[in-house]
Amino acid sequence: MIIDGKLISLQIQDEIAIEVNKIKSNGGKLPHLAAILVGNDGASETYVAAKVKACEKVGFKSTLVRMPSTTTEQELLEKVNELNADADLDGYIVQLPIPKHINEHKIIEAIAPEKDVDGFHAQNVGRMALNLPTYLPATPYGIMQLLERYKIETVGKHCVVIGRSHIVGSPMSILMARNTNPGNCTVTLCHSRTPDLKEFTLKADILIVALGKPEFVTADMVKEGVVIIDVGITRVTSDKTKTGFKLVGDVKYDEVAAKASYITPVPGGVGPMTIASLLKNTLKASRREVYF
């Protein structure tokens, strides 16, 4: 079965729009999300534009703060402090990557944890590991939503995660091992230093792939009935599309889909869920559900 992330993402956005209408009719303050965009990286422009558009669609207030690529670390820290102090703002994100001359960790740690709707601050990561109320990072949160809404059984299953980045693989391994539903898996976290990866992937009931190598996972690496969550997105050249490019996941889709019980396509699987998760976190922030 194909896991339709686009559909679920739209459903979540509809649910959020209903909540915003309730807030409006009760005369409450609209949830307000801001994004800081430093420089003019093409992909970041696209992501931020999509986030602003999604805010408008569900009825949130949104603010885009643009800063030039020459912005110093000090200037960005000042902007972060300004947004921390802005009482009208419920949450905000600093769109990554930021220019190399700025220390990313320093910036993330300067964001007020209660406004860190990307869930990247060490305090929120720690709260996630301790199973305390927090903002889950958007992509892992989206994957948890997909597993939940498709009622995919995870308890007692063996979940193998490929990739240990701070934004996808590592939080996924924590979430799938927690005593929650979805969760309660036995988790194996694989990375580039894992010898004989196939030995592990063949044992996976649920395989979460986030390494950024197009069509890396092939049918001979998975068992019959596996649940596949393909996080990878790589733009490759194609003579079959008008643009000359297409998006490819980390999984060789057709042959692996033939063996899988569930699979996320690329595009239209995990990708669209990221924005829905950010909106969910912003709604939580506006309701002071995490920090109160």
Residue number with CB closer to ligand NAP (31 or 271): 271
Closest approach, Cβ 216 to ligand NAP, in A, equals 7
Q: List C-alpha distances in Å: 29 to 9, 21, 22, 55, 91.
A: 24, 11, 11, 14, 14
Residue number with CB closer to ligand NAP (246 or 287): 246
Cα(70)–Cα(99) distance, integer angstroms: 8
Please answer whether residues 64 and 34 qualify as being in contact, where contact means their C-beta atoms are separated by less than 8 angstroms. yes
Among 95, 274, 277, 282, binds ligand NAP (CB under 6 A): 274
User: Does 197 interact with ligand NAP (rule: CB under 6 A)?
Assistant: yes
Q: Which of 13, 51, 252, 284 is catalytic?
A: 51
User: Does 210 interact with ligand NAP (rule: CB under 6 A)?
Assistant: yes
At residue 24's C-alpha, the angle toward residues 22 and 30, to 5°, is 110
163: its two tokens: 């990739």
H or E element: which one contains 284?
helix 271-286
The question of whether 115 is a catalytic residue gets the answer: no
User: Does 44 interact with ligand NAP (rule: CB under 6 A)?
Assistant: no
Q: Which of 4, 90, 116, 118 is catalytic?
A: 118
Contacts of 135 (CB under 8 A, 6+ apart): 91, 116, 117, 118, 119, 124, 281, 284, 285, 290
Residue number with CB closer to ligand NAP (6 or 259): 6
User: Does 231 interact with ligand NAP (rule: CB under 6 A)?
Assistant: yes
Q: Which of 79, 95, 115, 250 is catalytic?
A: 95
Contacts of 10 (CB under 8 A, 6+ apart): 272
User: Does 96 interact with ligand NAP (rule: CB under 6 A)?
Assistant: no
Cα(76)–Cα(102) distance, integer angstroms: 9
Closest approach, Cβ 26 to ligand NAP, in A, equals 33
Catalytically active residues are: 51, 95, 118
Residues at the contact surface with ligand NAP, assessed by CB under 6 A: 139, 162-165, 167-169, 190-194, 197, 210-213, 231-234, 270-271, 274
